[in-house]
Amino acid sequence: MKKPLLCLALLAVVAAPVFAYVNDALSFAHEAAVPYIKKGFSVREDAWGGDLGVKEQQAVTAQLFKGNEYWFCLGTDVKGAVVTVNIYDSKGRLVEAESWQKGRFAGARIVPEKTGTYYAIITVVKSPQERTGWAVVYAYK
Amino acid sequence: MTKNILPILAAVSLALPGSVSAQDPPESVDLSKFPAANVEDVVVPVPSEIFVVLDKLGSPNWRGELRSSLGKNTGNRAQVALLLGTVIAEGFIAVEAEDPEKVQEIGREVLELAEAINVRKAVIARSKSISEKAKSKDWLAVRREFDGALQDVRGAMQELGDDELAQLVSIGGWLRGTQVLTSIVSKNYSADGAELLFQPDLLTYFTEKLDGLKSTRLGKDPLVAQTRKTLAAIRPLIGKEDGSKISQGAVERINKLTEDNVTAITTPKDS
């Protein structure tokens, strides 16, 4: 899905507004990350994205390194939607240090105790639309 | 459309973190309930995600890790893509070394290699920005530009239908980043440093991409074949479970494997 996000984002430039939601969700995700940039985090240019129905979830895979601190920042283009992101380890245990949620924005912080694979689980809690576009970026320091 | 919403968001974002408590997520989930098709591809870490940890563990000699030659473009598209990945990775090393001249040289080389695979237009602005920010020694910004250059190159390749070539750029960068990681950890071994090599899903992801190449020409390319062998040889050396201890011998072996692979990419025999 990461790849489709990139492809769709490129298409959106020339074929707006069909894929405009992709760019918009990504913009919101980047906006959610702004406060962490001010705290010295570097936001990755790579991102994940897609769309989900209400109550649907999606897991995205990330290779994280012990010694770093990460923020995963989620955004959606749908006004009135509520989305969440939470971080689990490879055994399915909740490992985030903290998380927050505010309507179309959400964030989760993790300080990995081990280097390895982690899963950010995206949930569309509610939404006025059948499908809700979303995007996640992460920042590290 | 995106631009129109930015001024509004700029104000909103200031009040985001900490302002609202999260809903209580479950303490554990059954990952098997997430169908394989729904589990996303791994986002490939950029070398600096590892390098900043190495900086915390010690004081690596980043200048000593920089290569004097960035390698030669043979015109073979697989080689150019892999080489481009190694050069962008070199950019991250030069940022750690805080070497503005090297960063500018790398920025120019990125542009030349991008031209060789028809994606120059995608990185012109990045190359210029890399040069400007290196001159002003804004290293965080330079790091961000190299990350952006990597994504721009890959995006432009995908736009041209060269998805498979785009993967080679990522793999080239990973190989060079891993070579440097293992070089540094070998010189001052620590279990924490070695643990940074525990990247099993990333290795699986790269291997699947190489095994699934649809282009026969790319699939049979000698450099691609060597890279496939390198990944297969590294896999048993990084342990089986999270927290597995990776020995100094394993680190040194991975260093040799990646060094040989990077050398084959940067100084191909037919050059």
State the pLDDT at residue B18.
42
Q: Which residues of B touch A23 (CB under 8 A)?
A: 1-2
Q: State the total domains in chain B.
A: 1
CA atoms within 13 A on the CB side of B202: 24
Q: Are the Cβ atoms of B17 and A2 closer than 8 angstroms?
A: no
- Residue B22 domain flag: no
Q: Any chain B CB within 8 A of the CB of A15? A: no
Please report which confidence band the pLDDT of residue B22 belongs to, taking 50, 70 and 90 as the band edges: very low
Please report which confidence band the pLDDT of residue B19 belongs to, taking 50, 70 and 90 as the band edges: very low
Report, as an integer, the average pLDDT of A109-135: 95
Please report which confidence band the pLDDT of residue B169 belongs to, taking 50, 70 and 90 as the band edges: very high
- Residue B257 domain flag: yes
Q: What is the mean pLDDT of chain A?
A: 86
- Residue B30 domain flag: no
**Digit-coded pLDDT (tens) for B40-81:** 567 889 998 999 999 999 889 999 999 999 999 999 999 999
Torsion of CA A93, A98, A102, A107, to 10 degrees: -70
State the pLDDT at residue B187.
95
Interface predicted TM-score (ipTM) of this complex, two decimals: 0.85
- Residue B226 domain flag: yes
Domain around B164: 45-266
Residue B14 pLDDT exceeds 50: no
State the pLDDT at residue B193.
94
Residue-range domain boundaries for chain A: 2-140
Q: Judged by CB atoms within 8 Å, which residues 67-86 of A form the interface with B?
A: 67-68, 84, 86
Q: Any chain A CB within 8 A of the CB of B249? A: no
Report which of residues B136 and A17 the model is more confident about.
B136
Give the best residue of B20, B42, B49 to mutate against chain A (max A CB count within 10 A). B49
**Digit-coded pLDDT (tens) for A79-96:** 999 999 999 999 999 999
Report, as an integer, the average pLDDT of B218-245: 91
State the pLDDT at residue B88.
95
B40 Cβ contact list (under 8 Å, min separation 6)? A1, A2, A48, A58, A59, A60, A61
Report, as an integer, the average pLDDT of B171-186: 96
- Residue B240 domain flag: yes
Q: Any chain B CB within 8 A of the CB of A35? A: yes
State the pLDDT at residue B21.
45
Q: Any chain B CB within 8 A of the CB of A121? A: yes
State the pLDDT at residue B33.
77
**Digit-coded pLDDT (tens) for B67-124:** 999 999 999 999 999 999 999 999 999 999 999 999 999 999 999 999 998 898 889 9
**Digit-coded pLDDT (tens) for A7-58:** 334 333 333 333 456 678 999 999 999 999 999 999 998 888 999 999 999 9
Least confident of A10-14, B26-30, B80-84, B179-183: A10-14
Check: pTM over 0.80? Answer yes or no.
yes
State the pLDDT at residue A140.
96
- Residue B34 domain flag: no
In CATH terms, A2-140 corresponds, of 3.40.50.2020, 3.40.50.300, 3.90.420.10, 2.60.120.380, to 2.60.120.380
